[in-house]
Amino acid sequence: MKKETHPTYYPDAKVICACGNEFTTGSTTKELQIELCSSCHPFYTGKQKLVDTARRVEKFHERATKKTGTTAAKKAKTAARKAKKSAK
């Protein structure tokens, strides 16, 4: 194996979670900042926790409501055209 081709391995790297939990593990960086760990992840805790930093869920709901509104408007226009044609 060639020397100096692999990154430095730190067997006691410190991991810090957003919930405040800290533990050590092996890594190529000395310190890791993470958002979710095993003590706050919904799969392990059984609690529903929504992590939405970019408003993705709210944006989806806004788009969905706009689409249903435009679909109803299109259907109304189509019905009006058909009624107009049948009146002629």
Both tokens of 79, joined, read 């019905």
Evaluate whether 51 touches 35 at the Cβ level (below 8 Å).
yes
**29 belongs to a structural domain:** yes
Sequence letter at residue 38: S
Q: State how many domains the chain has.
A: 1
- pTM: predicted TM-score of the whole model, two decimal places: 0.48
**2 belongs to a structural domain:** yes
Tens of pLDDT, residue by residue over 30-61, are 999 998 888 888 777 777 766 666 778 888 88
Tens of pLDDT, residue by residue over 6-33, are 899 999 999 999 889 999 999 999 999 9
Domain that holds residue 38: 1-47
CATH label of the domain that carries residue 11: 4.10.80.400
- CB-based burial, 27-61: b 16+ in 10 Å, e otherwise: beeeeeeeebbeebeeeeeeeeeeeeeeeeeeeee
Cross-strand pairs, 15: 23, 32
**6 belongs to a structural domain:** yes
